[in-house]
Amino acid sequence: MSYSKSITFETGSNGDAATTTNVQADSLLETGGAGTMTISTAEHHSGTRSLHCTGTSTTGNYCATDNLGGLATFTRDFWIKLAALPSAETTIGRLLDSTPTAQASLAINGLGALVLRNAAGTSVFASASGKRLTAGAWFHVIWDAAYGTSGTQRVRLYDSTGTAIDDSTVLTSNNGANLFDAHRRGPKAGSTNATIDFYLDDITLSGTSADTASAGPDQTVEPFTTVTLDGTGSSGAGTWSLVSTTGPGAPTLSDATAAQPTYLCRGTWHTGHVDTWRYTVGSSTDDVVINVNPSTRGVITDPATNTVQAYDRRVVGS
């Protein structure tokens, strides 16, 4: 499953004022800190408006909290213009799990460097001299993160013409064991209060959910029944494989890549058996058990060949 959200600050999208009564209220919701969030018509990357963030921020002055619903990967693509460099490192994006505990973050320090931090707050990357944001110009920033104790982060910086300034490349980052449940965008300083003054515009958020395989409920059938497996409850397309069978011969699926393949389960009148199938979607797997009971019919006919396979002596006699 995928996640996508675009935020601009134009009339009819986010409204003309930074209040919770706008159409996309969450894009402009202040959640603490000392400062203001206002719509600016003087500065904008595209259109006629941007979001102006000013004041000071220690405990938080986020312009929004986006509910992500448990993402495995996340990308924030946005434009930013600094009216002045922050007086201290200021977080402008933070990914949290459901507790909520920070798993990864993007910040700008007092030198204009982009800084990546992991779940422990340890710096994973900081832009070198000559590859930083400067005051008075629009910059394009793309931040990527993947969850997990062996997760990854990457940040890319471009100038207003699209020329690449810096690329951290994909870096290993301990982003915690939990999926990304929420994203906060806007200023938050660390232990030192920071004075901030910048503009945000044209924000796009995207991501993908963790792979989830579902092989459907276990089934109980009689021999020579056509069984339909069901992987439609999974997060995406997958592949079926036979884990084990205690029956006669190896069963064959109609299509191992179909969400609902079929197969003919064989059997005998006097003993039951079990077929176990596995559905794999990305890194996720799920098994389903097909219990094939002894036949309750007097005659067992193989529908594939239309031939009698066995007589149930309990019913017919010998």
pLDDT tens-digit readout, 119-151: 999 999 999 999 999 999 999 999 999 999 999
* Residue 223, amino acid: P
Domain count across the chain: 2
Q: Find the range with the poorest average confidence among 46-55, 151-160, 215-224, 282-291.
A: 46-55
Query: Do 151 and 283 fall within a single domain?
Result: no
Q: Find the range with the poorest average confidence among 192-206, 233-247, 299-313.
A: 299-313
Query: Do 119 and 240 fall within a single domain?
Result: no
In the predicted model, what is the mean pLDDT of residues 40-59? Answer: 82
Residue, of 117 and 196, whose pLDDT is higher? 117
Q: For residue range 191-221, list pLDDT tens digits in order.
A: 567 788 999 999 999 999 888 899 999 999 9
Closest CA to 180 of 226, 222, 216, 146: 146
Q: Which CATH number characterizes residue 28's domain?
A: 2.60.120.200
Q: Mean of the per-residue pLDDT values for the chain? A: 84
Closest CA to 240 of 258, 252, 216, 256: 256
Instruction: Among 175, 209, 243, identify where a domain stops.
Output: 209
Q: Which two tokens stand for residue 21?
A: 């009564």
Residue, of 153 and 265, whose pLDDT is higher? 153
Q: Which CATH number characterizes residue 253's domain?
A: 2.60.40
Q: Find the range with the poorest average confidence among 12-26, 68-82, 218-232, 293-307.
A: 12-26
Query: Do 144 and 51 fall within a single domain?
Result: yes
Query: Do 103 and 180 fall within a single domain?
Result: yes
Query: Do 191 and 61 fall within a single domain?
Result: yes
Query: Do 195 and 230 fall within a single domain?
Result: no
